[in-house]
Structure 1
Amino acid sequence: MPIQSGQPLYSIQRSLQRFSLLSAPILLVLSASPAFAHHAIGGETPTTVFEGLLAGLAHPVIGIDHFAFVIAVGLLASVTRQGVLSIAAFIAAALLGTMLHLASLNLPGVELLISASILLFGWLLARKSMLPTWAIAGLAAIAGIFHGYAYGEAIIGAGMAPLFSYLIGFSLTQLVIAVAAWSVGRALINQSSETAITMSPLKTTGLILVGVGLSFLASELINLALPQVA
């Protein structure tokens, strides 16, 4: 009977470990590929409410850098007291970042800082960092501004209606992904009192995110160092 009580946790751990092993090479390959699109409608500017919503819903998913970071935010929130505040801070800051881009304010090094944010949050998750809630939320907000600034590139020139639906779309997707990651993290923690066991899958995922962040960062640094061939 004691075995049965541990089966739900064991099943979750096995599933997460398998997902990590399968997704790691895929994420690393995609993260190193600059050709991987960030647009759901073929790079065209949305012209309708539906196109804006579709582009917004898809952007955080088909942009592997954004997708990886939102997962990192949710998982790190699950091991942080009142961690949901960091999720809220990230989503709100992403909206602000998009507005800054649309206001033609220049933020330097956006892609570098996005890559660094994945690396940082993956590292914090892997080492089980217990930073204060305000520190995690602050870091999430700073990262959110740069992720949101990148989101803004896909909506430049759009009308108010598609812009509004685009903002709703990417905010909803980020919320769903982050809350799902938070739920998985909390399930692992709540179903066992042995921290070393429950944190193992989270540490593994954190290390994978570090690898993804390093891959993006290396790609960006190479692009900066080497002249672009016309």
Structure 2
Amino acid sequence: MTISTLSRSTMPSRRLGLGITLGIITLLTCSSPALAHHPLDGRLPANAFEGFMSGMGHPVIGIDHLAFVIAAGLVAALMRKGAMVPILFVLGSLAGTGIHLQALDLPAPEAFISTSVLAFGLILARGSQTNVWLISLLGAVSGMFHGYAYGEAIVGAEMTPTISYLLGFVSIQLAISLAAWAIGRALQKKNQSQGLLNLRFAGFVLSGMGAVFLSSVVLG
């Protein structure tokens, strides 16, 4: 195989990796942190539809939440049985919302949320195999803090919109994170070295965003 042939064979993978990175940046920069905890402008959902749409919107319009949902899926692509990472993250977020609805407190949730983005970005940037159970546990713990923040938008709502809200944020988080996982796996399957390089680059982008989020929390 000639050098020119090798170059042509890696071009689609590079383009796909660049597209993923640009897509991450576009999604995150289009999200609005000001609305992160108030998908309905602070108004409680009044019915099942509003509850579901509020649940769907919360992890997407919150830039820090969306960054972690994407990071969880891409990190999962680095390891075997990695789909457990986003699944346990989502289960953890359900637990975190339950904690909030029970009027219990978690310490410094915004700091932990920002740290989770930074940590998973660094894990992705490292680009090496990591114990899937350890990462899944970290994902579940991180999910508790993300879910705790989600709970703010539903405290005081009736049972029907509350259940719909939970279904909404479970659905959107699973869809985004599992899609990121599938894309990451496809990248590596097509070209292992180039695919891994693309994932690592995405990790540097996400870790940089996590550092910015954490700085804004610490500096107030």
Query: Unaligned stretches of 5+ in structure 2?
Result: none
Q: Given residue 127 of structure 1, which amino acid in structure 2 is its aligned partner? A: R
Q: Given residue 178 of structure 2, which amino acid in structure 1 is its aligned partner? A: V
Separation (CA, whole Å) in 2 of partners of 1:35 and 1:12: 36
Q: Could you tell me which residue of structure 2 aligns to residue 112 of structure 1?
A: 111
Can you list the C-alpha shifts for 1:29-72, whole angstroms capped at 9, x where unaligned? 678x7534433322211111010000001111101111110101
The answer to whether the Cα contact below 8 Å between 1:69 and 1:118 also exists between their aligned partners in 2 is yes
Q: Could you tell me which residue of structure 2 aligns to residue 203 of structure 1?
A: 200
Separation (CA, whole Å) in 1 of partners of 2:27 and 2:129: 30
* CA 1:99–1:82: 2 relative to 1, 3 Å: same
Separation (CA, whole Å) in 1 of partners of 2:27 and 2:163: 32
Separation (CA, whole Å) in 1 of partners of 2:94 and 2:120: 20
* CA 1:43–1:8: 2 relative to 1, 3 Å: farther
Separation (CA, whole Å) in 2 of partners of 1:72 and 1:92: 16
The answer to whether the Cα contact below 8 Å between 1:39 and 1:58 also exists between their aligned partners in 2 is no
Q: Given residue 219 of structure 2, which amino acid in structure 1 is its aligned partner? A: I
Can you list the C-alpha shifts for 1:174-229, whole angstroms capped at 9, x where unaligned? 0000111011101111112xx43221110110000001101110000011xxxxxx
Deviation at 1:17, TM superposition (A): 1.3
Q: Could you tell me which residue of structure 2 aligns to residue 13 of structure 1?
A: 14
- State TM-score, norm by structure 2: 0.91
Q: When the two structures are aligned, how many residues end up with a matched partner?
A: 219
Query: Unaligned stretches of 5+ in structure 1?
Result: 224-230
Aligned pairs for 1:65-80 within 5 A? 65-80=64-79
Q: Could you tell me which residue of structure 1 aligns to residue 154 of structure 2?
A: 155
* CA 1:42–1:78: 2 relative to 1, 3 Å: same
Q: Given residue 176 of structure 1, which amino acid in structure 2 is its aligned partner? A: A
Separation (CA, whole Å) in 1 of partners of 2:24 and 2:139: 24
Separation (CA, whole Å) in 2 of partners of 1:47 and 1:147: 23
Q: Could you tell me which residue of structure 2 aligns to residue 222 of structure 1?
A: 219
The answer to whether the Cα contact below 8 Å between 2:10 and 2:194 also exists between their aligned partners in 1 is no
- Secondary structure of the residue aligned to 2:152 is helix
Aligned pairs for 1:102-181 within 5 A? 102-181=101-180
Separation (CA, whole Å) in 2 of partners of 1:117 and 1:127: 15
The answer to whether the Cα contact below 8 Å between 2:51 and 2:161 also exists between their aligned partners in 1 is yes
Can you list the C-alpha shifts for 1:57-108, whole angstroms capped at 9, x where unaligned? 1111101111110101100111111111111111111000000000011111
* CA 1:8–1:62: 2 relative to 1, 3 Å: farther
Q: Could you tell me which residue of structure 2 aligns to residue 43 of structure 1?
A: 42
- Secondary structure of the residue aligned to 1:81 is coil
* CA 1:101–1:53: 2 relative to 1, 3 Å: same
Separation (CA, whole Å) in 2 of partners of 1:176 and 1:156: 25
Can you list the C-alpha shifts for 1:144-187, whole angstroms capped at 9, x where unaligned? 10000000000011000000000000000000001110111011
The answer to whether the Cα contact below 8 Å between 1:30 and 1:36 also exists between their aligned partners in 2 is no
Aligned pairs for 1:70-109 within 5 A? 70-109=69-108
